Amino acid sequence: MIDKEKQKKLYKSLGMKSFREGDFAIEVMDKVSDKWMLLISEMIFLRSPIRYMEISRSIPSISLRMLTLRLKQMEEIGLIYKENIEGGGAQMQYYLTELGVSYREAFSQAWIWAKNIKQ
């Protein structure tokens, strides 16, 4: 469970307009329950640090535009951070934040559930 201070910080970073408990949960889920975010967070978790093109190759069905948009959104929310690669020019490496790890842990159960109901 997120403490109130972390909740307020996340609320602010997501640009939410209200702060009632129920609204908060609904708005957070609306922002983060995206299949691409789930896949991206899993790739970063498994291969961190990981470069942009490595993520792209790991998820061949995602367009480069969508990958760029989701990475930017995930960074704004605070799920990931990126660092320049020394000597790599404009190349970046991506990492999960503490919040990103908790996000991945929470939603990985949804993937397991989805795979199990298919069987």
Q: How far apart are the C-alpha atoms of 56 and 14, rounded to whole Å?
A: 25
Helix (H), strand (E), coil (C) string for 84-103: ECCCCCCCEEEEECHHHHHH
Could you tell me the CATH number of the domain that includes residue 112? 1.10.10.10
Q: Is the pLDDT of residue 18 over 60?
A: no
Q: What is the pLDDT of residue 20?
A: 60
Lowest-confidence segment of 22-26, 44-48, 87-91, 92-96 by average pLDDT:
22-26
For the chain, the domain total comes to 2
Q: Rounded mean pLDDT of 4-17?
A: 70
pLDDT of 89 > 90? The answer is no
Give yes or no: residues 40 and 24 share one domain. Answer: no
Domain containing 40 equals 34-118
Percent of the chain with pLDDT strictly greater than 70: 83
Summarize pLDDT for 63-85 with one digit per residue, the tens: 999 999 999 999 998 999 999 88
**Residue 8 and residue 46: Cα distance in Å, rounded?**
29
Report the alpha-carbon distance of residue 89 to residue 91 in Å, rounded: 6
Of residues 57 and 112, more confidently modeled: 57
Separation in Å, CA 17 to CA 13, 71, 73, 78, 102: 11, 23, 18, 18, 24
